[in-house]
Amino acid sequence: MNIEKHTEAIKACRFCFMCRHLSGIGNVTFRESDTPRVRALLLDQVMSNPALLANADTLETLYNSDLSAACRYHCVKHFDENGLLLAAREDVVKAGLAPADVCQVAAEYLARPAAPAISGKGDVLYFIDYNTAAVPAIATAFGKIMKKAGVSYRSAEKGCPGKALKVLGYANEAQKAAREFAAAVNAANVKTIVVSNPAAYDALVHDFPEMGIKLKGKVMHTSEYLLSLKLACRKKAGALYYLESDFLKNYHPDYEFPGKLLSHLGAKRLTFGTNNEESYTCGEGALVLQQLRPVLVKKLACYIEARADHPEKDLLVTASPYTRKQLSTHTKLKVVTLEELTASLI
């Protein structure tokens, strides 16, 4: 079983309570099962009796997580509670135990072409994945910035680098999609690949090398790329709250570019909520949580809204198109992405 690779995390987490305050789902369901501790306890049992993986409640628990990795990040030894869950989901799928709702979401992604449709000219390729495409204002803002900067670029629309499938536990299918995606992108022969969605960034920068897939061109999140353009601003961003992305904060702890871009834009960053440890992303790490657990996503959104200083007035900025979409759908919060903010200032 894949979870055996994570025995260390199972043994560490199964009796540990030290990061429960950061269990995003646990904080809205109040359920013990939605914590790294209980997930590890359940998987500990599965290690000695694999038949227990078929338990419907265990399966529900495994797919409830927001995969924010806030707990792993907080953990003094960074035990990989997140990787454990992904491995468990892989075991679930391999054993043919994927619950119907999971199969349904996976089927949607399997039906989509992995290779993106590429158009335009230039050395820069801008990848507009499904989450980014769901908020058209983001690509529009990016286009406006590029025009202003005088850089021509190509767009890679839709397409699937396999991240959603990976998160659902469909490792082989994810790998196949990743290869097809990479082949199409490599054929474009660009110098720079820019992505707005931090999940896509993680796929390209972390998952691809892990699968042995090489991409031609340097991958950058838009924050890094926009900063490199050294744009002149008409006005300063002023006071705002930046909601950290799970992928850019907890998965890539040294990713400094969103902060640097905000400084460049003249932002005065205020602390959102009460701390900078909790995930305020509506389950960005789980990628398809909205399709899988819409009720939980709504709860996560309300949890964030309840922590705003002035919910209808404050300007919230996110690096994540997913978070932008969920917060705009479920709350009254005023939220824009880094691209939208940048476009409004230049």
Partner 1 sequence: MLIERKSYLFEMIRNELADAVGAEFVNCADSDKMGHSIDYYWIPELWHDRGKETKKPDFVVHPGSAEEVSKVLKIANQYQIPVTTWGGGSGSQGGALPVYGGIILDTKRMNKVLQIDEQSLSVTCETGIIARHLEWEVNKAGYSTMHLPASIACATIGGFLAHRGTGVLSTKWGKIEDMVMSLEVVTPTGEIIQTLPVPRHASGPDLTMLFLGSEGTLGVITKVTLKIHPQPEARKFRAFIFEDMHTAMSAGADLMRSRLRPCAVRLYDEEETSHHVKRVLGLDRKGAYLVFGFDGQEKIVDLEMEYALQIMSRYKAEDLGSKGGELWWENKYKFFYPGYMFHLPQAFGTLDTVADFAHIEKVYQAMKDVVKTNFPQARFIGHFSHWYEWGCMLYARFIFEGEHVPADAEEAVALYNRVWDLAIRAAIANGGVINEHHGVGLKLGRLMKELYGDGFKVLEGIKKTLDPNNIMNPGKMGFKGV
Q: Please identify, using beta-carbon distances, which residue of 192 and 279 lies nearer to ligand SF4.
A: 279
Q: Please identify, using beta-carbon distances, which residue of 17 and 140 lies nearer to ligand SF4.
A: 17
Q: State how far the Cα of 187 lies from the Cα of 297, in Å rounded to an integer.
A: 37
CB 80 within 8 A of CB 72: yes
Residue numbers 257-316 binding partner 1 by CB under 8 A: 271, 274-275
112 binds partner 1 (CB under 8 A): no
Sequence-distant (6+) residues with CB within 8 A of 333 are 304, 305, 308, 311, 312, 314, 316, 327
What's the Cα-to-Cα distance from 113 to each of 14, 15, 162, 251, rounded to whole Å?
A: 40, 43, 10, 27
68 binds partner 1 (CB under 8 A): no
Residue with tokens 């309840």: 306
Other CB atoms closer than 10 Å to residue 287's CB: what's the count? 29
Assigned token pair, 90: 């892989």
Q: Please identify, using beta-carbon distances, which residue of 72 and 166 lies nearer to partner 1.
A: 72
Q: State how far the Cα of 230 lies from the Cα of 197, in Å rounded to an integer.
A: 21
Query: 225: number of CA atoms within 13 Å, CB side?
Result: 28
Kindly state the smallest distance separating residue 96's Cβ from ligand SF4, in Å: 29
Kindly state the smallest distance separating residue 167's Cβ from ligand SF4, in Å: 19
Q: Please identify, using beta-carbon distances, which residue of 75 and 171 lies nearer to partner 1.
A: 75
User: Which of ligand SF4, partner 1, none sits in contact with 81, Cβ below 5 to 8 A by type?
Assistant: ligand SF4
User: Which of ligand SF4, partner 1, none sits in contact with 71, Cβ below 5 to 8 A by type?
Assistant: ligand SF4
55 binds partner 1 (CB under 8 A): yes
102 binds partner 1 (CB under 8 A): no
What's the Cα-to-Cα distance from 58 to each of 43, 55, 100, 263, rounded to whole Å?
A: 9, 5, 14, 44
CB 181 within 8 A of CB 174: no
213 binds partner 1 (CB under 8 A): no
12 binds partner 1 (CB under 8 A): yes
Residues at the contact surface with ligand SF4, assessed by CB under 6 A: 12-13, 16, 18-19, 36-37, 71-72, 75, 79, 81
16 binds partner 1 (CB under 8 A): yes
Q: Which residues bind partner 1 (CB under 8 A)?
A: 11-22, 30-33, 35, 37-38, 41-42, 44-45, 48, 55, 57-58, 60-61, 75-77, 79, 271, 274-275
